Structure 1
Amino acid sequence: MAKPIAGPEIERLIQLLAKLPGLGPRSARRATLHLVKRKEQLLGPLAQAMTQALERVLVCSVCGNIDTRDPCTVCCDPARDQTLVVVVEDVSDLWALERAKALNAAYHVLGGVLSPLDGVGPDDLTIRQLVERVAGGTVREVIIAVNATVEGQTTAHYLTDQLAEFDVRITRLAHGVPVGGELDYLDEGTLSAAMRARTAF
């Protein structure tokens, strides 16, 4: 086991940063060194911002987005068409669609996809909440915008079955989204084109 190269506080920071997506131990060490060298300009403001996020960030009780208010800013926007609900896997997908300005609709974040191999079933996602939303009678179209993976398509078919009894149009993104692709990594043009060319499920 390698010996620590710095004090426990710095080692702890390295270990925590290494847990972030896209950062391994080496990148975490570089990031930590950069932060520590610029304590006043970066480390202090970052610590303050993280403390505020810890205290104020909430999960929207309507759609599952994260914000500092509940319902979130998206759900409270009076200009949005609340009769259109875009179903996404994760908040990052919601943000990607918002960046693309693809559609001025409401959202529903599932919190993942069905994956029996990983032990993720319907009760682990917000499928029941989506069904209750549609049962309320104000939704006229559900746009299933999950990733084009095997698990994503399985989830899409399951959602279609769950919503079949309601008088609601169910559509999905057009096949412009590549198979195996993830929404968060697609460019805005591809997302906009896929949203415009959505088809009946």
Structure 2
Amino acid sequence: MNFPSKLIEDAVNEISRLPGIGKKTALRLALHLLKQPEAIAENLTDAITKLRKETAYCRVCHNISDQEICSVCQSPRRDRSLICVVEDIPDVLAIENTSQYNGLYHVLGGVISPIQGIGPEELKIASLLTRIDQPHSGEAVSEVILALPSTMEGDTTAFYITRKLKEKGIKVSTIARGIPIGGELEYTDEVTLGRSILTRVNYSVD
């Protein structure tokens, strides 16, 4: 791709580093910024700089936070007997958007992957066990919900955590994995379909 200006080329190269953005989209964004008032670009630059320098992580659950302990962990309306374990921060946002869960979270920061050299020590598993032994709020944790990816790495991580929690007598559950609403069986992959059958629930008309 030929550029009329080295400044445009540099901007396109940097923007295209973002996930899901190719060179053409990056060029379109760069040209769009050129047409905007200078203050727009400055505001964007300031926001990104503050995001990178000032974003903190909750010392309890490791979610993004503006302070030492995040709003979820501080909220008195949360069920502190439940902890939902997720791979990363986008999973917290996805679950929160359902408005169906009212417990706490624990962000692992990844999943166990020997191929990528990621073991249990690289994840926030130790701090999860500490939360079980020494609850932040003083209220005992009775159940841990594993909301991890339906992959080999996710299953390995879930197995490892389950073994650790079994020693502590904590109930461990996992989110249901099945056919999406509106989905047709013929287009569903075999693994998902098989798990849907194995994790079937009672059907009632009451």
TM over 0.5: yes
Select the residue among 34, 43, 59 that pairs with 1:36: 34
Matched, 1:136 2:134: yes
For 1:16 and 1:91, how far apart are their aligned partners in 2? 24
Q: CA deviation at 1:107?
A: 0.3
Select the residue among 168, 175, 178 that pairs with 2:177: 175
Counterpart secondary structure, 1:21? coil
Counterpart secondary structure, 1:78? coil
Partner deviation per Cα, 1:97-148 (whole Å, 9 max, x = no partner): 0111121110000001111111111111111111111122621110000011
Q: TM-score, normalised by structure 1?
A: 0.81
Correspondence for 1:183: none
Q: CA deviation at 1:36?
A: 2.1
Matched, 1:27 2:29: no
Select the residue among 89, 92, 104 that pairs with 2:87: 89
Select the residue among 43, 50, 66 that pairs with 1:52: 50
Q: TM-score, normalised by structure 2?
A: 0.79
Partner deviation per Cα, 1:61-107 (whole Å, 9 max, x = no partner): 11111121121111111111111000000000001001111211100
Unaligned stretches of 5+ residues in structure 1: 179-196
Identity within the alignment, %: 40
Correspondence for 1:101: 99
The answer on whether the counterparts of 1:173 and 1:198 sit within 8 Å (CA) in structure 2 is no
Query: Matched residue pairs, number?
Result: 179
The CA RMSD over aligned residues, in Å, is 2.2
With over 3 angstroms needed to count, the CA separation of the structure-2 counterparts of 1:198 and 1:49, relative to structure 1, is farther
The answer on whether the counterparts of 1:171 and 1:198 sit within 8 Å (CA) in structure 2 is no
For 2:5 and 2:164, how far apart are their aligned partners in 1? 55
With over 3 angstroms needed to count, the CA separation of the structure-2 counterparts of 1:172 and 1:95, relative to structure 1, is same
The answer on whether the counterparts of 1:35 and 1:43 sit within 8 Å (CA) in structure 2 is yes
Correspondence for 2:156: 154
Unaligned stretches of 5+ residues in structure 2: 181-198, 202-206
For 1:198 and 1:71, how far apart are their aligned partners in 2? 38
Which protein has the larger Cα radius of gyration, Structure 1 or Structure 2?
A: 2
Structure having greater relative contact order (Cα 8 Å, sep ≥ 6):
1
With over 3 angstroms needed to count, the CA separation of the structure-2 counterparts of 1:119 and 1:20, relative to structure 1, is same
Q: CA deviation at 1:170?
A: 0.4
Q: Which amino acid aligns with 1:144?
A: L
With over 3 angstroms needed to count, the CA separation of the structure-2 counterparts of 1:16 and 1:198, relative to structure 1, is farther
Counterpart secondary structure, 1:94? helix
Q: Which amino acid aligns with 1:26?
A: K
For 1:30 and 1:163, how far apart are their aligned partners in 2? 50
Find runs of 4+ consecutive structure 1 residues off by over 4 angstroms: none
Correspondence for 1:77: 75
